[in-house]
Structure 1
Amino acid sequence: METPEDDKTDEGQINEMDKTDDDPISEKEKTDEDPKSEKSEKSEPETPPSSVQKLLSIARRQSEQLERLSILASPRKSIRKSILSATTAFTSEIQPVEEPSADVAKPARESVSQPLKELQFRASISARKASLRKDLSYAGYAKSNFRPQPGGCCIGKLDIDDVIRHSKKPLKEPLLKNVLPRDKQNAVAVFAHLMAYMGDLSSREDERDNILQILSGGIRTFEIRDEIYCQICKQTTDNPNSDSNTKGWQAMALSCGMFAPSSSFLPTLEAHLEQVVNGTVGKGKHAGSVTDPPRMASYCLKRLHKIEQTGQRHMLPTQEELEAVEKMGTISATVYLPDSTNKTMPLDPMITTEEVVVKIVQMLGLSEPKFFCLCEVDTNQEEKTLGYKTYVAEVQSMWAGNCYPEVVDRLRGFRLTGKKAKSRDNRVPNYGDDVLNKIFQRGSIGDNQPKFLFKRNLFLDHDPGVAETTRNRELAVVYSQAVHDVVRGAYPLSEQDLLMLAALQMRAETGSNSPQTVKGLSISKFLPKFFLEEREEERKSAVVNIVSGLPLDPSPATRRFDYLDYLKTRYPLSEASWFFVKQIQNTRLPEEIFIAINGSGVFYVQPDSKEELLHMTYTEICSWAYSYTTFSIVTGNLNYNEDHRLLTREGADIGKAMQLFVNRLF
């Protein structure tokens, strides 16, 4: 945008040039000049200052319009048309200026043409954005993409006023023209489920089953996602029933948090939701109701943007999540620390594990969230690191068994009845009874129940600026994590190593090496269960003897460091980043393995015994790459190389861990 100072400069330059042209010249120069040039000089009109002022006023007007309009994407053809029409309209407002001669007033011509180009560009952008804002409405999209419905008032023609508004009649054809023939039946069935969910149609399915049918159709079938969103927009436009409209917006919120529409319909959906938020669409409709449309549309936009950035869901929501989204509330999740303390937290249904880690790091006063992760402990007590972009609600849905294949198959079997069916019992557990505790509570969970576990997964040196108190807090977390892994038998350690670690743990926790002090402790807190079978007293006596021979140390931090250092010397992978993957190339290795990453390189580890299968140093690794479902490591040299391809959805996290270690080493 040009400032007023720039305007004055341009006008001053032109006036100064006009004065220069009128200055007298020597008689010799006059005689040497060509008569034709003299004639053209006399006949050339001066550029009036009013034309420049008009140009600058138009520039300011176009700049103000540019600031008011937001940048929106559009197809190339519409951009060309809008630029062409805007340029034509702009040039028609400007009075033509005669072209001066080549050697007279050349600087003045350049100073006028440059603002002209800028103004033409700004005018084209402003016109394009204005046209885009108009075309991105839901009604504008319907005019170009909806098909005429059978039985409409205009046979064979699209009645736009009827097709974009709420209807109490089921569809006979999909709304969109581009729905494939194989998906037409599902698209029509989705609308019937939507009407039943909103209370506009009775069915044998209860409310929960109807919304799960809609969501499962969108999760599995990409081709009908735009159709689903268009149907919801239709049923929430001019809906006279407040309760029905509320359920329609709840269906919109649930869909926005499960899957995104196609890139061609996404701008229209965002613009439609923004118009509802601003009150330009549906103004005054159901304001102040239980679910106010502008407030719900803002909630839908937030969920839609999150699903665009992080990716779609793959599991249907639990009953708790359904209720939370319908009320724009929170879900609850219990996160355990390695020392068996836990905290139940209220969380946004769209929260990811990375965001949960940030919350816990701040809660515990630790240094950097990148050093920590959230793990899933399954029913077999096997720990698997969850990717940073994993939805917490998605993991809970998996635990509840909310897979979609069984549900979506019933889309074709939707049947209408004369009365509403009785509600069925919930098929998923309700986690909504937990409340937020002020501190982490001591407790345990059943061995056969899955849970979230907070752990450290990147063992890099701290920056020099980290405070001593923060270091001590992180030392406590790492120490409890190491004890947790040793006691559950996660590492392949010898009998002597297990006894020594138990003795070091006793000394670290009691601060004493006296046999009388440690004899009263339960040995099950220090040794794995399989190691204590039928030999508990013998093992305890051996540990007490080892403790009595250890030197005293008054520093709790030093005693913990002794435990960690001993464990690291016996099993270096105890301080590594672990990821569960599948490999399909090397037939000599098991299909399911762990990949462990530390400062020494990348390791393939046997899942059960935790024994090392393959070691790749960083000097052997040429490159690595990942996609949404794979991770590839290339080793070798220019003459020979080998590609180690793995199946995993944590490829980005694996690459991030490798890069951090490489940066520290090299």
Structure 2
Amino acid sequence: MSAVKIGGDWVENTDPSTGRKYYANTVTKESSWEYPAELKGASDPAAVTGGEDKPVEWVEKLDASSGNYYYYNRSTKETTWDKPEKFKPANKGGGDWASKVDPDSGQTYYYNKKTKESRWDKPEGYVDPKEEEATTVTGGGATEAAADGEGTSAEVATNGAAAAAAAAPAAAADPESNEVEDNIDVIANEEGAGGGTKEDKSDPCGVLKSVEEITAGIGDITFEKFVEEYFKLDRKGMFNAKTSVEKISSWKNDLIKTSLLQLPPDLSSEALQTFRNVTGYMGDRGSSKEPLGHVKKILSSLMLAPEQLRDEVFCQICKQVNNNPDPVSSVRGWQLMVIMISSFPPSSRLQIPLTQFCARKMDDPGEFVPKYAEFAVRRIPRIFDLGPRREIPTQVELEALKRCAKVTVRVNFLDKKYIMLQTDSWMTASEFNILVAKKLGINDTSPYALFEVSSDDEERVLEPEERLMDLVSYWQRLAVEERKGKGKGAKIQEFQFVYKVRLFFDIPDDDHQGIEMMYLQASTDVVDARYPCTEQDSLTLAALQVQERYGDHPGPGKEFTELDGVDSKTQQPKLMRFLASKYFADGSDRSAELIQQILKLYAKLSGYSTNEARLSYLDYVKSWKIYGSAYFFAEPQNSSLRFPSAIVLAINSKGILIVDPDTKEFLAEYTYKDVVTWGHSSNSFVVVTGGVQRQSKVYFKTDQGKEINSIVKAYVERVIGPKE
């Protein structure tokens, strides 16, 4: 809805998120919720609501959890989402100052209508309107609550933990969204530009450049020069008269008639629709759509669009935040800027002008704009290096981006324990691995990696440059698609991040954290029967696990209460958890016999410390030729070698094993000293073995050639040393 002239230089507009009318002066750029004093008279809305002398019974309040306004009656204590017929905005005057509520943090700030200054602290001499009792709307009613000025975390729990959704009204408030976020662990944190994010905490991996470093090479390249060179300036009136750079690059309270940039006709029409969504989100025009619905519309059309159209949206946002008379609209514009910078980069021709525009806004007198502007400046080079993402951010991620905040994800381990760590839209898997290692106290990160593991036990190691939040968005999209196909109540595939050993290097005995990680991986692989081992080996290793877990045997005739009883999941004696299920899966009840053998071996281990038990366990399994292997199914392409049509490539620190998947027999073995070279394509892996005079080349058909190649390279460089 376009602004309506109401007299003089004043126009009336409607804030789409609240339904409230506000007033803007097209000359002075002043804006106010209150009807202009100079136009008071018959057209004054106060006349409809009873005039200035009539007590105001209804007041407007912000629901911190949803970001929406509701109405509260001081007399009857009634609350409603719908604006009452006789509602009149309360006079919150005080000279040139007015108080407003930050829509993201729920905190009150103060805005000077003449100087455009905004601040958190109350200006001297400003008188607040009468304080009302604090209420928080939940659902359709109101409950008393303490006013702490903070919003509600948008939180999503994993594995069907739907209780967390109740704590996330802001994330669940989109009626048009089909998003499913119950198969991932994501929490949108509250701290951000509206709540005081500190940049020194936002870059734990040290990948962001300083503002000074970024702006040092800008020189005299300005956004205005970009506008002059690339914008359509001939657009004024029926004869397309030339407009000014200042006018075309400043806030506009109605829709543009053609694109800002010189675009082909098909892209120009898309640009106009994009501007409708930009202004819809910012509140510059009325819209019935939920605000983030506009953001998703923009992203869905631009994720795969040509870069000219992406440049167009950056330019549109710059236009709408430049000389914007409404501080709320301006902040929303900057939120939109941050969201776009999280999703795709500007073109090389726009990168520096856009950076200059944002850097200049760091000197804005307001409280919020400088923080958003600095946040954007530091991340433009980052997204330019990373390139566009593949997926549209989730609702939770968008809520975090609105506040320039981080999100928290859960990282799982093989023993069912987990840690929670913060990440953002730009963090890659390699950077996140560093954070996990720091959290665990690991010095050498090379043996470990972050894996994507599905509820079907399929796993994949994350590529170093893969963005975590992009992967989370992908998981969510798969969940939505699967649920649509199977029905709302159907069980769908879920995913999680798992941090574990990828490369089985030798770990120093005094590296207790590294030893623990290696032991956890080895014991899990033994119990899961990833290694073929004899029953006696399994019993010996089970005894070492009991020693590691419980310490010394209490002595003859004494029992462990921790090991008594039956495991509720397996319905087997608890001690059997340390053995592979193959020893009792055939239906024969050997539990008592096997338990006695384990306890007999366990009694002999008295005096072993936890670390010694782990080291003994690792020494035992390291003697196996198959230990530490990553398994890959492949099809040999060399018929002369007489391999079966399908084999297993077992890659470990000793070499490459060819294993028969049925008999588990080792068909061939290539140590790394025998490997001359190796390589891969998108659907194959090749290894060349032998000496100077005679060499043998073996091809394998596999779609995992890249990962096989990467593991072989890492082991060869550790065993043989990097190639010159």
Pick the TM interval, shorter chain.
0.5 to 0.7
Structure 1 residues 239 and 532, CA gap change in structure 2 (3 angstroms): farther
How many angstroms does 1:537 deviate by?
4.5
Rg (Cα) greater in structure:
1
Q: Which amino acid aligns with 2:653?
A: G
How many angstroms does 1:602 deviate by?
4.8
Number of the residue aligned with 2:197 = none
Number of the residue aligned with 1:558 = 612
In 2, the alpha carbon distance for the partners of 1:213 and 1:131 equals 35
Q: 2:292 aligns with which of 198, 205, 208?
A: 208
User: Within the alignment, does 1:600 sit opposite 2:684 as a pair?
Assistant: no
Q: 2:259 aligns with which of 145, 149, 174?
A: 174
For residues 574-630 of structure 1, the C-alpha deviation after alignment (integer angstroms, 9 at most, x for no partner) is 42567x89999999999999976433335688999999898665443425478xx89
Q: 2:517 aligns with which of 466, 477, 483?
A: 477
Number of the residue aligned with 2:499 = 454
In 1, the alpha carbon distance for the partners of 2:660 and 2:261 equals 52
In 2, the alpha carbon distance for the partners of 1:486 and 1:319 equals 41
Judge conservation of contact 2:281–2:294 (CA < 8 Å) in 1: yes
Q: 2:597 aligns with which of 529, 542, 545?
A: 545
Q: What's the secondary structure of 1:171's corresponding residue?
A: coil
In 1, the alpha carbon distance for the partners of 2:633 and 2:361 equals 45
Number of the residue aligned with 2:219 = 133
Structure 1 residues 487 and 648, CA gap change in structure 2 (3 angstroms): same
Judge conservation of contact 1:581–1:646 (CA < 8 Å) in 2: no
How many angstroms does 1:385 deviate by?
1.6
Number of the residue aligned with 1:661 = 718
Judge conservation of contact 2:218–2:356 (CA < 8 Å) in 1: no
Number of the residue aligned with 2:472 = 396
In 2, the alpha carbon distance for the partners of 1:601 and 1:319 equals 46
Q: 2:406 aligns with which of 330, 339, 345?
A: 330
Q: 1:527 aligns with which of 565, 574, 579?
A: 579
How many angstroms does 1:500 deviate by?
4.5
In 2, the alpha carbon distance for the partners of 1:567 and 1:275 equals 62
In 2, the alpha carbon distance for the partners of 1:191 and 1:632 equals 49
Q: 1:307 aligns with which of 383, 403, 406?
A: 383
Which moves more between the two structures, 482-491 or 376-385? 482-491
Q: Which amino acid aligns with 1:506?
A: V
Judge conservation of contact 1:316–1:403 (CA < 8 Å) in 2: no
How many angstroms does 1:246 deviate by?
0.9
For residues 6-58 of structure 1, the C-alpha deviation after alignment (integer angstroms, 9 at most, x for no partner) is xxxxxxxxxxxxxxxxxxxxxxxxxxxxxxxxxxxxxxxxxxxxxxxxxxxxx
How many angstroms does 1:404 deviate by?
11
Judge conservation of contact 2:232–2:260 (CA < 8 Å) in 1: yes
In 2, the alpha carbon distance for the partners of 1:190 and 1:606 equals 58
Structure 1 residues 149 and 543, CA gap change in structure 2 (3 angstroms): farther
Alignment of 1:259-278 (within 5 A): 259-277=344-362
Judge conservation of contact 1:211–1:251 (CA < 8 Å) in 2: yes
Number of the residue aligned with 1:52 = none
Structure 2: runs of 5+ lacking an equivalent: 1-214, 483-487, 565-572
**Normalising by structure 1, what TM-score?**
0.61
How many angstroms does 1:254 deviate by?
1.0
In 1, the alpha carbon distance for the partners of 2:387 and 2:635 equals 24
How many angstroms does 1:257 deviate by?
1.3
Judge conservation of contact 1:175–1:227 (CA < 8 Å) in 2: yes
How many angstroms does 1:372 deviate by?
1.7
Q: What's the secondary structure of 1:346's corresponding residue?
A: strand
Structure 1 residues 393 and 542, CA gap change in structure 2 (3 angstroms): same
Judge conservation of contact 1:379–1:448 (CA < 8 Å) in 2: yes
Q: 1:194 aligns with which of 267, 273, 278?
A: 278
Q: 1:620 aligns with which of 667, 675, 680?
A: 675
Structure 1 residues 649 and 488, CA gap change in structure 2 (3 angstroms): same
Judge conservation of contact 1:148–1:158 (CA < 8 Å) in 2: yes
Alignment of 1:111-510 (within 5 A): 133-134=219-220, 136-148=221-233, 150-152=235-237, 155=240, 157=242, 159-177=244-262, 179-223=263-307, 224-277=309-362, 279=363, 283-284=364-365, 287-288=366-367, 292-401=368-477, 449-462=494-507, 469=510, 471-491=511-531, 497-510=537-550
In 2, the alpha carbon distance for the partners of 1:185 and 1:307 equals 27
Structure 1 residues 617 and 545, CA gap change in structure 2 (3 angstroms): closer
Judge conservation of contact 1:316–1:402 (CA < 8 Å) in 2: no
Structure 1 residues 614 and 198, CA gap change in structure 2 (3 angstroms): farther
Of Structure 1 and Structure 2, the greater helix share is in 1
Structure 1 residues 642 and 594, CA gap change in structure 2 (3 angstroms): closer
Percent same amino acid among aligned pairs?
26
For residues 210-260 of structure 1, the C-alpha deviation after alignment (integer angstroms, 9 at most, x for no partner) is 111222333212332222222222222111211111111111111111111
Structure 1: runs of 5+ lacking an equivalent: 1-128, 407-426, 428-445
Structure 1 residues 318 and 504, CA gap change in structure 2 (3 angstroms): same
In 1, the alpha carbon distance for the partners of 2:259 and 2:704 equals 38
Q: For this pair of structures, how many residues does the alignment match?
A: 480
In 2, the alpha carbon distance for the partners of 1:583 and 1:268 equals 53
Q: Which amino acid aligns with 2:303?
A: I
In 2, the alpha carbon distance for the partners of 1:614 and 1:183 equals 59
Number of the residue aligned with 2:202 = none
Judge conservation of contact 1:226–1:261 (CA < 8 Å) in 2: yes
Judge conservation of contact 1:374–1:453 (CA < 8 Å) in 2: yes
